[in-house]
Amino acid sequence: MGIRDYICRMQKLLESHLAEEHGIEHIPSDNTGVFLDEHTKVASIGVQVRHRLTNHGFALNVTREPLAWFNKVVACGLTDVKAGCISDAVELKGGAALDSIAGELPGLVKRFGRIYEREMVPLDISAEGEEEEAVRAMVAESVSSGSWHRKPEF
């Protein structure tokens, strides 16, 4: 799979998740990412390719909490775009606000497997191995860092 196809599938994953999980239709955009309207971006995609290795991911704003942070930056160089979240879009449709990302994970994982044509299996971090040890180390580092600031302090 080429990088362009990879990114297009990631975009489709996010669009499908919004539609199937929440009944939210995105609007098409010339920019990468998923938009709720012409000026509100709910998901961003970042992919770096160096020496045939990738660092990749996406940001999907589920709750309002990260919006205070995103309002302090010009995301992706788009000066006329602000960050939005799934929770606000759901509320506009008459649904209840979302208060956690945990409920989004099962649907995202299922759709990721379908769109990337991969079998998704849970990682048992209690097992012994290099990958499991790396995950345990990241979890320990995260826990030891304490809670993060809820609002920007600048």
Indicate which residues carry an active-site annotation.
76
Compute the CA torsion angle 112, 118, 119, 121 (nearest 10 deg): -60
Backbone angles phi, psi at 33, to 5 degrees: 120, 180
Element (H, E) at 17: helix 3-22
Looking at the DSSP bridge assignments, the partners of residue 57 are 46
> How much is the CA Rg of the chain, to the nearest whole Å?
17
